[in-house]
Amino acid sequence: MEISGEMMGCKSKIAVVMAKPNEIQGLMEAFDGCCGVFHTSSVADPAGLSGYSKSMAEMEGKASENVMKACARTPSVKHCVLTSSLLACIWRDNSQYELPPLVNHNCWSNESLCVDKKLWYALGKLKAEKVAWKIAEEMSLNLTTICPGLITGHEFSYRNPTATIAYLKGAQEMYANGLLATADVRRLAEAHVSVFEAMKTTTAFGRYICFDRVIQCEDEAEKLADEIGILRNKISGNSSDFVFPNCFELSNKKLANLMSRTLRSCYAES
């Protein structure tokens, strides 16, 4: 696991424990004494290049499997929150006219489609989440997953160029279909806390889609491009190239309802 410089230098009561995601025993030792685990990591390119390959997608799935098994085998761990991706929800088959227009937490991407389009980052997140749910069911692990859009804010894209560039593969098609959304990293952090707190009272369950902005016009596409340092046409391109422009509607209602309850409760106690 990679530990950021900010965390290493933190003066608050944080213990930094190193563990390898391919060693279950080491993960168990790291998790020992913790009541909850947030599995937020994403596989980094071992060559240090800006990209995400098919082999990395396989690594992502295996790492998720190991983390889930370690959580389930660690007696102190009661809850686990996995950071998946909106990409694990939106890449469905090409028969779009047969699909319902609402895209929410019940939707899953199609693995074959991700392979055909070489959407390796989407494939990695899909594999990671699928195997997490499989292990959770088999080993009675209390799991929830959060599926954020493209993570932005606080120079996130500049510090995490691999994930940002990999997420945006297929961006023009996502934009044309109304499925390109972003999630501010601070809001995403609040979502993780809200979901974790609600898990303690069994009011949080299943999957949650997280986003705060859907890119729906040229001005919004240009603003996003400026934020992450790419050309606008990499996002919007020529929307007329796609047969079904803006035919879907993203919904994060499940998460919004949960956060309104949990954050209100937190403020009331403070």
C-alpha to C-alpha distance for 240 and 220, rounded to whole angstroms: 17
Give SS3 for 144. strand
C-alpha to C-alpha distance for 69 and 129, rounded to whole angstroms: 13
* CA-to-CA dists, residue 239 to 171, 187, 216, 218, 249, angstroms: 11, 29, 11, 10, 17
> Is the distance from CB of 188 to CB of 154 less than 8 angstroms?
no
Among 9, 141, 175, which Cα is nearest to 66's? 141
Residue 205 token pair: 């369950």
Residue 57 token pair: 């997608």
* CA-to-CA dists, residue 27 to 19, 51, 130, 175, angstroms: 6, 27, 20, 39
Backbone angles phi, psi at 40, to 5 degrees: -110, -5
Using only C-alpha atoms, what is the Rg of the chain?
19
> Is the distance from CB of 107 to CB of 126 less than 8 angstroms?
no
Other C-beta atoms lying within 10 Å of the C-beta of residue 48: 7
Tell me the H-state helices in 44-119.
54-73, 87-90, 111-116
Q: Is 78 a catalytic residue?
A: no
No. of helices (H) and no. of strands (E), the chain: 12, 9
C-alpha to C-alpha distance for 228 and 231, rounded to whole angstroms: 9
Among 13, 69, 78, 125, the active-site one is: 125
Q: Which residues are catalytic?
A: 125
